[in-house]
Structure 1
Amino acid sequence: MCKLPGLGLFGPGGKLTSLSAGVLRPAADPADPRTIAARARFFGADTVDPQTGALRTDRVVLSWVGCTTFALAIGGSVFLLDAWVPRLTSTGYVPATPQGLVDLAPAAIFIGHGHFDHAADAGRIAQASGAVVHGTAEHCASIAAQVTDPAFPTAVHGDAGTAIGTREDFAVGAVEVTVVRHLHSARTPSDPVGGSPRFFPRPQPGIVLTHPPTLSGLLQGVPRLRDPEGGVLLYQFRVPGLCLVWHDSTGPLTERAPQVFDTLAALPATDVQIGAVQGYNQISNGLRDPRTYIEALTPALFVPSHHDNWLPGLTASAATYDAPLRAELERISAPRRPELRTLHDPADYVRPQRLTFQL
C-alpha cells in the first residue's frame, strides 16, 4: 500500500544512501548447518532433511515475514515473495532479518511492486544469495541500484508500460508460474452499487515504545522511501496438488481495469489466495477491492496480508481487520465463499504451522 514521501537528502547518491550499505553474509550450501537451521525455523524441522537441507516435495509451506513478504518452500525450492523485513519505525517486532532470509538460500525472489515496503531488502538478499529477481524491468533496475556492482540474475516480466491484464507463463524449477499485470491500490469515488462501508482502523503507535527504531534500520530503510512502484504483478504458483496465488497490492479493477477479472478467472483453479487487504480504497469503498479479487479467483482458502502494524502511527494490528473482512466475505455467495485463515501480528510471524499444505 504505502509509499512515503522521501527527502532530497536521502535520494539516490544522497548522504544516507552511502551510509546505509550493509553487506550480508553469502548464502551457504543447503547442507551447511546454517542453511539447515534457517530452513527448519522458517518451514518446520520436519520439512527439512537434517543432513542435506533438502526440502520435502510433498508439502508447500509459507512463513510470514511481515507486510506482504513470505518465505515459500515449494517444489523442493525456496522462493521469497517480496523481500523486505519491516524495521523502519519498529525494530524487532518481526522476528526475522534480511540475513535470515539469505540463510534460506532462496532460488528466486518474486516482486509484486517496487515500493520500499515490498522490495527494500531485495538487492542485498539477491546479492548475497544469488537468487534470481523476478519483476518488471523497473523493479529489476531499481533493485540492482540498491547495491554496488550487482551480480545476481534477473527475470524481466514486462515494464511499466505493459498492458494491464497481460499474462505470462513460465517455470522455475519444478514450479509452474503465471504472472498477471494488475493495479496498485488507489482511492476511487464511493461505489453505490458494489462498494462497502468505509474502513480505516485507529492507528496503534504503542509498539514504537517496545520496539524502537535503530540507526541501522533507518540507514537501510530511509534511502528506499522514494523507490518507484514500477508496475504491479500478481503471481500464481502451481505444483501437483496445490495452486497458490499471491499479490501484494489490490487495485480498483472495477473502475479502472475490469478486464483483469476475466484474466484472473481464466487462471487454473486456485486453492490458496494470499492477498493484500489494506489499501487506499478502504477509505472510500472499504474492503470491496479484496472481495472482487476473491470473487474472480474463487479460492478455496483466503489468507489476508498487508494488514499488520508495521508502521505504527499509520497502521494497526491485523486483528482489527477480522470483523470487516468476515463481513465482506459474507457478501460472496456461500458456494463460492472461501475459508478464511487469518494471520495476526506478531503471533503469526515466522509461524510455518499456520500455512503448511500437504500435497
Structure 2
Amino acid sequence: MKRIFLAGLFVSSLCFVEPAYADLQATITARQKVFGVEHIDPKTGDLPKDKVLFSWISNSTFAAAIEGRIIYLDTYVTRLEVESGRTPIVIKDMVDLAPQSILLGHGHGDHADNAAYIAGKTGARIYATAETCGVMVQDLQRMQNDPAIMNDAVAKLDSSAKIDCVSVTSAGSTPGTEILQLDVLEPNACVIAFRHLHSVAVPPDTSFPPTPVKIILDPRDAELFPKGVALTPDEKAPSPATGQMNLETAGKPGGGESLFFSFILRSGSHFSFVWHNSAGALKEGKGQGWDGTPEDGRRIVAILKALPPTDLHMGTASSGNFTNNGLRDLIQYQEALKPKIYIPNHLTTGTATREASSMSVYAGYLKQLDLMNMPREQRPVVRWLIDPTDYLKPIVFDTADAIWENPKKAGLIDHLCKQPGGEVHFD
C-alpha cells in the first residue's frame, strides 16, 4: 500500500539547523507524546541522561532515547492516518521529535518509508546499507520534485536539503564479513552493525514439527474502520487529493539486504540491547537475495555470540519462513544472543503477522520454545507488544541498575569498541 499523508497537518514552519528542531515547543510536545510527559523537561525538551527509553510506533519502528540522544529504529508507520487514529502518530510528530539519526534495518517500504522525508526535514543522518543509501538520495530528489509537497508552504522540503547517509556495508557484500563500529551514539554508546540475513522460506525442518498457530485478526477492525472509509487516498487515483503527499521509498535495489545493530552503553552498568527487523534461516545460511550455505549462518551465529552480553533483544516476530518453520529462526538468534529480555517487532505488517494478530503470534512463540526444547532458565523474560494498545507507551530502562552488570562487558567495550567508524574484529 502506498504511504500517503496529509501535509496540511503541519501547523508551524519546519526549519532545521543541525538535527535539532527550531520550533522548541513543537519538539517538546512531540517528545511528550512519544516518550511520556513525565520523562521530558517541559522547558528544554531534554530527556533523562540516566535512562534508555523506547516507544513503539508500529511494525518494527521505534523511537529511542539513549541517555538523552534521540534516534529512530526504522521509520515506517502502519496505517499512518491523516489524523491521529489507530496508530496515534502523524508525520508532523515524527519530524517534530527532532531525531539525530535514523537506523534502517533494511530498505523495504515497510521499514524505510518516511526516512528520506524525515532526514530531509531534520538533517538526521541515516545509517543503512550502501544500496539503501543510494535509494534514500533518489527518494529525497523525487519528493523535492513533487508539487504536492513543494507547493505546500509548511510541508515543503528545502530545495537544498541533502541526504547524509552512512553506508554500513558495501554493495553486494557477503553477510557477516563487514562489521562496523558506528559513531551514531558516541561517546554515550558503542554501536556495532553488520549485514545478516533477511527472512526467507526454506523447506520444513524435520528436527521439530511446525508451530500449530492460527493467525486471528482483531474483530474490532470492522467497527473501528468501517468498509468504505478510506484511511489513505485511493492510490489508483490520477493524482493525490489536495494537501496530501507521498512519502514512500522506492525500496530498490538492495531492499532485502538487512542490518543487525548491537548497542552497549559506556557508562553505568553498561546496559546493552540489539535490534533487527528480519530474521533469516541461520541453520541453512539463506536469506532473501542470498542463496547461501550453512557456513554463512554459522558465521553470523559466531558474531552474535561474540557481541557484548545482551540485556534486551528487540527482534522480528515476523518471518517469510513462518508457514514452513514457525518462529524457529527468531529463536535461533536468541539461542546465540541469550538475552535477558525480549521485546518483539514486525507485528503489524509482513508475512503471516498482520495488524492485530499479535496474541496469536505470542502463543506461537511460546509453543515454539517448547518444540525446540529451550531450557526454561535460558528463556528471556518476554515483554510482548499488542497493536494498537502498546503504541507510544514508553518502555524505560535505568542504565545504572545493577541488574545489567556483567564483568565481561567492560572488557569487551575496550576490546571491540576502539575506533568509531572503523571495522570491528572478533579475535
Q: Do they superpose with TM above 0.5?
A: yes
Most deviating of 239-248 and 337-346? 239-248
RMSD between superposed Cα atoms in Å: 3.1
| Structure 1 residues 313 and 267, CA gap change in structure 2 (3 angstroms) | closer
2:318 touches 2:352 (CA, 8 Å); kept in 1? no
Partner of 2:190: 176
Aligned to 2:56, which of 57, 64, 69?
64
Counterpart of 2:74 (choices 69, 78, 82) is 82
Alignment of 1:5-44 (within 5 A): 25-26=14-15, 29=21, 32-44=24-36
SS at match of 1:147: helix
The offset of 1:106, in angstroms, is 0.3
How far off is 1:51 after superposition?
1.4
Residue by residue over 1:107-127, the C-alpha shift from the partner in whole angstroms, topping out at 9 and shown as x without a partner, is 000000000000011011111
Choose 167-176 or 127-136, whichever is displaced more: 167-176
Q: TM-score, normalised on structure 2?
A: 0.72
Output one character per residue of 1:121-144: Cα deviation in whole Å (capped at 9) or x when no partner: 101111111100000111111122
Deviates more, 1:194-203 or 1:52-61: 194-203
2:284 is aligned to: 255
Q: What's the CA shift for 1:93?
A: 1.9
Tell me by how many angstroms 1:226 deviates: 5.5
Partner residue in 2 for 1:231: 257
- Following TM superposition, by how much is the alpha carbon of 1:312 offset from its aligned partner in structure 2, in angstroms? 11
Q: Alignment identity in percent?
A: 32
- Normalised TM-score (structure 1): 0.85
**1:332 aligned onto 2:374:** yes
Kindly indicate whether the alpha-carbon contact (under 8 Å) linking 2:80 and 2:87 is maintained by their aligned counterparts in 1.
Answer: no
- Equivalent residue in structure 1 for 2:387, among 339, 345, 350: 345
Label 1:221 to 1:306 Cα distance change in 2 as closer, same or farther (>3 A). farther
Q: Which residue of 1 aligns with 2:166?
A: 155
- The 3-state SS of whatever aligns with 2:92 is helix
Residues 175, 195 of structure 2: 8 Å contact kept: yes
Structure 1 residues 125 and 223: CA distance shift in structure 2, 3 A: closer
Structure 2 matches for 1:1-359, cutoff 5 A?
A: 25-26=14-15, 29=21, 32-87=24-79, 92-148=85-141, 150-166=161-177, 167-172=179-184, 173=186, 174-193=188-207, 196-197=210-211, 199=213, 201-203=215-217, 207=221, 210-211=224-225, 212-215=230-233, 224=249, 227-228=252-253, 229-239=255-265, 240=267, 241=269, 242-256=271-285, 257-308=297-348, 315-330=355-370, 331-352=373-394, 355-359=395-399
What secondary structure, in the 3-state scheme, does the structure 2 residue paired with 1:304 have?
strand
Q: Which sections of structure 2, spanning at least 5 residues, go unmatched?
A: 142-158, 286-296, 400-427
In structure 1, how many angstroms separate the alpha carbons of the residues matched to 2:61 and 2:235?
17
Q: CA deviation at 1:349?
A: 0.4
CA distance in 1 between counterparts of 2:223 and 2:250 reads 23
Structure-2 separation of matches of 1:273 and 1:45:
26
What does residue 13 of structure 1 align with? none
Shift in Å, 1:233: 0.2
**Structure 1 CA distance for aligned equivalents of residues 305 and 208 of structure 2:** 19
* Deviation of 1:26 (Å): 4.0
- Structure 1 window deviating more from structure 2 (20-29 vs 286-295): it is 20-29
Matching residue's letter, 1:161: G
SS in structure 2 opposite 1:290?
Answer: helix
Q: Cα 1:303–1:191, aligned 2, differ >3 Å: closer, same or farther?
A: same
Q: 8 Å contact 1:30–1:54 — kept in the other structure?
A: no
In structure 2, C-alpha distance between the alignment counterparts of 1:216 and 1:34, rounded to whole Å: 31
Q: Deviations over 1:266-315 (max 9, x none)?
A: 00001001111111101000110110011111100001111126899965
Q: Which amino acid aligns with 2:275?
A: W
The one-letter code sitting in structure 2 at the alignment partner of 1:35 is T
Tell me by how many angstroms 1:216 deviates: 8.3
Counterpart residue type for residue 279 of structure 2: T
Checking the alignment, whether the CA contact within 8 Å between 2:21 and 2:96 is kept in structure 1 is no
* Residues 274 and 313 in structure 2, CA contact (< 8 A), matched pair in contact too: yes
1:235–1:208 CA distance, 2 compared to 1 (3 A): farther
Higher mean displacement: 259-268 or 193-202: 193-202
Summarize deviations over 1:226-251 as a string: whole Å, max 9, x none.
54415100111221331010001111
Q: Summarize deviations over 1:198-231 as a string: whole Å, max 9, x none.
A: 5451455863763432218886569647544151
Which deviates the most, 170-179 or 90-99?
Answer: 90-99
CA distance in 2, matches of 1:60, 1:234: 19
Corresponding residue pairs, total: 342
Distance in 1 between residues matched to 2:6 and 2:171, nearest whole Å:
27
Q: Is the 8 A contact 1:66 1:308 kept in 2?
A: yes
**Partner SS, residue 145 of structure 1:** helix
Q: Distance in 2 between matches of 1:255 and 1:75?
A: 38
Distance 2:284 2:350 in 1: 29
Structure 1 residue 335: deviation in Å? 2.6
